A and B are shown apart, each in its own frame.
Chain A
Amino acid sequence: MQLGSELAPFIASPVMIIIGTRNAANFPAIGRGLGARALDSESVEVMLSAWQWPETVANLRDNHRMAATFARPSDYVTYQIKGRAELVGAEAEDLERSQRYCANILTVLEGLGLERKIVQPWLCKRHIVVARMKVEEVYVQTPGPKAGTAVGTAK
C-alpha cells in the first residue's frame, strides 16, 4: 500500500510515536518510537530503545506484527500505520536521526509547557534498533468524528 505524499513528511517530523505489538499468547505491549522515516512509498522505519522496551523488541522478533501511531502534540493530528516489521541494527545515520528527533520533540514539548525533566524519561537512547515495517493499513486517528477511518488498505 502507498503511504501518500502527506504522511511521509508527517511521520518524519517531531511527532509523538507509540508502538503496539503482541506476544505469542496475544498479550499486547506498548513501546515508544524515537524518530521515524518513510523508507520508500511502501515501508517505514521506526527507531526505538531495545533497552527500554524489551517486550516490544521480543514481540517483533517473534511475530513481526506492529502498529505505530504518530501524533502531532500541537493539534493532535494523528495517524496509525499497521504492518509487519523486521528488526535491523541501527546505522550511524539512524542514530543521528534518532538524536535529532529527540532534540526536536523536546523543543516542541517544551514549547507546549512540558518541563524537560518530564519528557527526558521517554527519550531513552540506549541500544537503539530499527523496526522496518511494510505498510499494510493506514488510519486517521485525530480525535473527532473521522477517528478510525481507514486511509486505504493493502492491495
Chain B
Amino acid sequence: MTLDLRDLQPCFEGVIPSIVSTTAADGTPNISYLSHVVMADEAHVALSNQFFAKTAANVRANPKAALLLVDPLNGMQFCIHVTWERSLDTGQLFDRVAEQLRASSAQIGMSGIMRLKAVDIFRVDAVESVLSATEPESPATITDMPDLPALAEISARIGAQSEAEGVIDALLSGACEGLGFEHAIVLLSDETRNVLTTIASRGYERSGVGSEVPFDEGLIGTAATSARTVKVNDMSRVRRLGAAIEASSLDENRTRTIALPGLPNALSQIAVPLVTHGEVRGVLFIESLDRLAFSQAHAHALEMIAAQAAAVLALSEMTASEAPESGTAPVAAPPPGDTIRVTHHRFDDSVFIDNVYVIKGVAGRLLMFMLGAYLDEGRHEFTNREMRLSETLRLPEIKDNLETRLLLLRRRLEEKALGVRLLHVARGRIMLEVDGAPVVDSDA
C-alpha cells in the first residue's frame, strides 16, 4: 500500500517523540529524538532541531535522512525517507513552526530554552509502515471530522446575530453543541491593557467572566499575539514536568483578579484567534479531557466559525454605535431600599460594591459613568453613542469594542448579584437598575 503524508496526520501532533537519523560525510550515522516534525505540505516536512547541531551539519553534507514517526492512537510506526532541501529562518512556514513550538514549550515550562532559530525543510521521498507483530487496536484516525452541514449551520447562526451577546452565544453553542466539545471560553482583546478578558464560557463550575490572560501568556496569549491557532494534544507531559498551573483559588476581593475557568485534568487544549480585517478581536479557547481531541480538521472548522464570529462582532459594534439617541432621559424614581456602597479606585478603575470586587479597567469606568449620571441627573438609560462620545470616559479610540465591554460588565454584575444591574433595552441601548441608594466613594 502506498502511504501518503496526509495518512499520517496524527503522527504530527507531537504526542510521541519522533526520531531522525542522518549520516556524516564519512558515513558515521547519527540518531536523535526530535522536538517537532511539522507537515509543511503534501510532499514536505519541516524539522525544528534546536539542540542537535550534528543533524543539521550532517544533512548539509549528505541530504538523505530517515524519520520515524509514531501514530499516537495505536502506536504504529512509520519510516519516512527524506532529502534535505533548505533551511528557513523567516516566512510563513517558519512562523507557523515557531508559534507551535513556542506554545507547546510554554506549556512545559521551557519557553526560554526552546527558542527556534531555523527550520529545515525536507522533501519526502517515500513513506513506509514499519512491521508490527501486534495488530493495531484502533484505526489510525483521529477523532471524527466535523461535518460540513453542521459547520454551515453554525456559521449561518452566527451570521444571523445582530448584537455582540448573540454572536458570542452562537459561537459557544456552535463549538459545544455543534462540534461536540464541552468546555469552551470566549475571551476578547483589550489592547489598552494588553490582556484578553473572558466574556463568556461553557462547561465550567465558575463562568470566570472578567478573568484576564496577558497577551503572550500560554496558549491563549500566543494565539492572540500570533493570530494563529495553537493546540496541545497531550497535556500529560505538562503535568509530568510539574509545570501545570493549579486551578487557582484566588481571593478576588483582595487581588482584584478573577481566576480563569479551567479543567485541571484536561489532556487537549486549543486556542483559536477571532480575526477580522487582520485584527485579533479575541480568542476561542476549548479544552477536553481526551487526548488528541483536536485534529487539524477541527482546527480548521473552529477557525472558520471564529472568523465568522469576529466579522459579525465588528459589524455589531458599528450598528450599535449608530443606534438612535434615547431621547429625553426619564427620571428615576427615588430608589427604595438600603444604601449600596460603591468604591472606585481611580488608578486601575477597579470598582467594588459593598466591598465585593466587580470589575476594573474600561468596564469599571463605564459603570462609574452610568452611576454618576444616575446620581446626578436621575438618568438610567444610556446609549452606546453617548458613551463613545463622552469625554469623561476617556474611551480608547483604537478599538471599537464598547459593545463587548458593556456586555462583559452586564454579565459580571448579573453574576455577582449586588443590587446593581444592566439591562439590555434595544440595540445600542442599556438601562441601569439599582436596588438601593448608591453612595459613591471615588478616590481610595
- Chain A positions within 8 Å of B, measured between CB atoms, are 18-22, 26-30, 51-53, 63, 65-69, 71, 74, 78, 80, 82, 112-114, 117-122, 124-126, 139, 141, 143-145, 147-148
Contacts and interface: CB of A to CB of B under 8 A. Distances in A.
Contact of B54 (A66, A124, A148): A148
Given A71-B33, A121-B75, A147 B52 contact: yes
A74 B242 CA distance: 12
A69 B31 contact: yes
Question: SS class of chain A's interface: helix, strand, loop or mixed?
Answer: mixed
B28 A65 contact: yes
Interface string B110-141: 00010000000000000000111110111000
B66 A29 contact: yes
Contacts of A19: 31
A28 B64 contact: yes
Interface of B: 16, 19, 21-23, 27-33, 35, 51-54, 62, 64-68, 70, 72-77, 79, 81, 113, 130-134, 136-138, 236, 240
A144 B112 CA distance: 11
A18 B77 CA distance: 13
21 contacts: A20-B23, A20-B29, A21-B29, A28-B66, A30-B67, A52-B132, A67-B28, A67-B31, A69-B32, A80-B32, A82-B30, A117-B75, A117-B137, A118-B16, A118-B70, A121-B75, A121-B132, A124-B133, A141-B51, A143-B113, A148-B53
Contacts of B16: 114, 118
B31 A20 contact: yes
B131 A27 contact: no
A121 B315 CA distance: 53
Contact of B64 (A26, A82, A119): A26
Contacts of A125: 133
B62 A52 contact: no
A124 B64 contact: no
Contacts of A53: 130
Contact of B33 (A66, A78, A113, A122): A78
A66 B27 CA distance: 10
B28 A30 contact: no
Contacts of B62: 26
Given A18-B19, A20-B30, A141 B131 contact: no
Contacts of A74: 240
B22 A28 contact: yes
Contacts of B21: 20-22, 28-30, 67
Contacts of A66: 29
Contacts of A28: 21-23, 29, 64-66
A110 to B, nearest CB: 12
A82 B22 CA distance: 13
B29 A118 contact: no
A112 B240 contact: yes
Contacts of A112: 236, 240
A30 B137 contact: no
Nearest to B59: A28
Nearest to A117: B137
A53 B31 CA distance: 15
A113 B240 contact: yes
Given A65-B27, A117-B74, A120-B75, A27 B81 contact: yes
A117 B71 CA distance: 11
Contacts of B72: 118
B190 to A, nearest CB: 36
B148 to A, nearest CB: 31
A148 B54 CA distance: 7
B79 to A, nearest CB: 6
Nearest to A20: B31
Contacts of B73: 118
A63 B104 CA distance: 40
Given A80-B31, A124-B133, 18 more contacts: A18-B68, A19-B31, A22-B29, A28-B21, A28-B23, A65-B27, A65-B29, A67-B28, A78-B32, A78-B33, A112-B236, A112-B240, A117-B137, A118-B74, A120-B134, A124-B134, A143-B35, A143-B51
B62 to A, nearest CB: 5
Given A21-B29, A148-B51, A121 B64 contact: no
Contacts of A124: 131-134
B394 to A, nearest CB: 48
A27 B132 CA distance: 23
B31 A68 contact: yes
B113 A52 contact: no
Contacts of A122: 70, 75, 77
Contacts of A26: 23, 27, 62, 64
A63 B68 CA distance: 22
A121 B134 CA distance: 6
